[in-house]
């Protein structure tokens, strides 16, 4: 468990730094595009495409970061009104469903990469597969986080399983 926590912490740190860089790039590119269009009456040919691809990366890299922070939405009606074994089973079920869903994303992401490896983007002239690498990377990080959650759920006795306080 300690090794998994260390790996996830390192992965999370790398993802946070990457997301910060990607969001910064996206902001600069969009700002430059707006200035070029409205001040110089000329636009950059690649800016919208690059911003779109950076947004895809940002979304799929932010998903595991938000999960690790506990930032994803939950159905509070169930989890806040239960405790003990019922809550433990509920959390276990949610983690297993997350693993199944992320496994599907991972499999389909790899398939998408394979299918687009020879396709070139119109403006940037890069392989489209580079855009879609975000899917399996985000899915792998989510799977690792969920496995860590599963271990924590199994290690916590049902009698100590209590609802988490929601931050509104």
Given a cut of 60, whether residue 57 has pLDDT beyond it is yes
Domains in the chain: boundaries: 2-160
Mean pLDDT, the chain, as a whole number? Answer: 89
For position 132, what pLDDT does the model report?
96
Three-class SS string for the chain?
Answer: CHHHHHHHHHHHHHHHHHHHHHHHHHHHHHHHHHHHHHCCCCCCCCHHHHHHHHHHHHHHHHHHHHHHHCCCCCCHHHHCCCCHHHHHHHHHHHHHHHHHHHHHHHHHHHHHHHHCCCCECCCCCCEHHHHHCHHHHHHHHHHHHHHHHHHHHHHCCHHHCCCCCCCC
Report the distance separating Cα 51 and Cα 62, nearest Å.
16
| Angle (CA) 17 22 23, round 5° | 100
Neighbours of 67 (CB within 10 A): 19
Mean pLDDT of 94-107: 96
Mean pLDDT of 14-26: 96
Please report which confidence band the pLDDT of residue 166 belongs to, taking 50, 70 and 90 as the band edges.
low
Report the distance separating Cα 60 and Cα 22, nearest Å.
12
Please report which confidence band the pLDDT of residue 83 belongs to, taking 50, 70 and 90 as the band edges.
confident
Report the distance separating Cα 13 and Cα 67, nearest Å.
13
Mean pLDDT of 147-167: 78
In this structure, of 96-100, 108-112, 150-154, 158-162, the range with the lowest mean pLDDT score is: 158-162
For position 167, what pLDDT does the model report?
52
Question: Considering the entire predicted model, what is its pTM?
Answer: 0.85
Report the distance separating Cα 25 and Cα 19, nearest Å.
10
For position 58, what pLDDT does the model report?
96
């Amino acid at each position: 468990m300690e090794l998994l926590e260390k790996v996830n912490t390192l992965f999370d740190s790398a993802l946070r730094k990457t997301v910060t860089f990607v969001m910064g790039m996206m902001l600069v590119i969009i700002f430059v595009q707006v200035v070029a269009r409205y001040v110089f009456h000329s636009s950059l040919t690649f800016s919208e495409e690059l911003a779109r691809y950076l947004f895809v990366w940002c979304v799929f890299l932010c998903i595991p970061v938000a999960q690790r922070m506990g930032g994803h939405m939950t159905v509070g009606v169930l989890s806040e009104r239960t405790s003990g074994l019922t809550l433990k089973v509920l959390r276990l079920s949610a983690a297993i469903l997350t693993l199944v869903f992320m496994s599907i994303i991972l499999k389909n992401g790899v398939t998408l990469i394979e299918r687009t490896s020879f396709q070139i983007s119109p403006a940037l002239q890069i392989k489209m597969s580079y855009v879609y690498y975000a899917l399996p990377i985000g899915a792998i990080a989510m799977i690792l986080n969920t496995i860590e959650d599963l271990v924590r759920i199994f290690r916590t006795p049902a009698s100590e399983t209590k609802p988490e306080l929601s931050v509104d």
